[in-house]
Structure 1
Amino acid sequence: MDFTNTIGVSAAGMEAQAQRLRVAAENLANKETTGSTPDADPYRRKTITFKEALDRTTGVAGVKVKEIGQDHSQFETRYDPSNPAADAKGYVKMPNVNSMVEIMDTHEAQHSYDANLNTMQITRSMMTRTINLMK
């Protein structure tokens, strides 16, 4: 049994989910960030994708961030003629961030993070028991 491989896989999963949380938090923080002029685009929602990553030294597959990209869906508009980014009709392009999607993504990331942490704790407990048996 190689417990370090299990811990390494769990740690990689925790790091990937932490990055997923950071992306969702950034999206939520910029939900109202418009452009500064009528022609400027507002904040564009970021997306994150993962890939399987093989550790060549151990031969164990883990997970890594493949890419932090952008969501190219349409911007919604809101009537706000006092905004500096308003067009001639008074409409402002708003970021393509949906709070519910981001909140659900944070919940999923938290559950995945917790599962990896639990796996790491169980592995540590098994290592401790094994060492105690060898005494």
Structure 2
Amino acid sequence: MGIFGAIGIAGTGVTVYRKWLDAVSDNLANINDAVPTSGDVFRARYVQAQAVHYGNGDGGVVVSGTALGSPKGRLVYEPDNPIADREGYVKYPDIDLGSQMTQLMMAQRAYQANLTVVDRAKDAYQAAIQVGKG
């Protein structure tokens, strides 16, 4: 694999991890959105990635799709909430804050690692150009 191959593969990783960060951000932004028990609750998004040309060393990764979390949500007793039902319950998304924060950190670190690979490959390419000039 050459320098451009490394940049290309790391670039695909940057794209996938950016989409993962977007999904986690959406999940965190909607974690406290209450809806009436008869309504549809926000469903968490989970990014699914897939290797391209696995084993060849020249493919990278792509987002193959997204999965949605549970549509049931979780019932919370909040009788003072204006949208509560007769029994005093509202629905919240079934999203675990700890899990989402862990995914956020993992995606952020992987995003940074792929950007570092792109940066180092660019530096190596520029150094090779300078050697060629000499």
What TM-score results when the alignment is normalised by the length of structure 2? 0.87
What displacement does 1:74 show?
A: 5.0
After alignment, is 44-53 or 21-30 more displaced?
44-53
What displacement does 1:38 show?
A: 3.1
Q: Which residue does the alignment assign to 2:33?
A: 33
Q: Which residue does the alignment assign to 2:130?
A: 132
Which one of 75, 79, 85 corresponds to residue 73 of structure 2?
Answer: 75
- Over the matched positions of the two proteins, sequence identity in percent amounts to 26
- After the TM superposition, list the runs of 4 or more consecutive aligned residues in structure 1 that deviate by more than 6 angstroms: none
Q: Secondary structure at the match of 1:47?
A: strand
The residue type equivalent to 1:129 in the other structure is A
Query: What CA deviation, in whole Å up to 9, does each residue of 1:37-58 have, x standing for no partner?
Result: 431132111111101124xxxx
Contact 1:40 1:85 (C-alpha < 8 Å) held by counterparts: no
Structure 1: runs of 5 or more not aligned: none
What displacement does 1:97 show?
A: 1.2
Q: Which residue does the alignment assign to 2:102?
A: 104
Contact 1:9 1:63 (C-alpha < 8 Å) held by counterparts: yes
What displacement does 1:60 show?
A: 2.0
Does the alignment pair 1:93 with 2:115? no
The residue type equivalent to 1:63 in the other structure is V
Contact 2:40 2:71 (C-alpha < 8 Å) held by counterparts: no
Contact 1:38 1:84 (C-alpha < 8 Å) held by counterparts: no
Quote the RMSD (CA, aligned, Å): 1.8
The residue type equivalent to 1:120 in the other structure is V
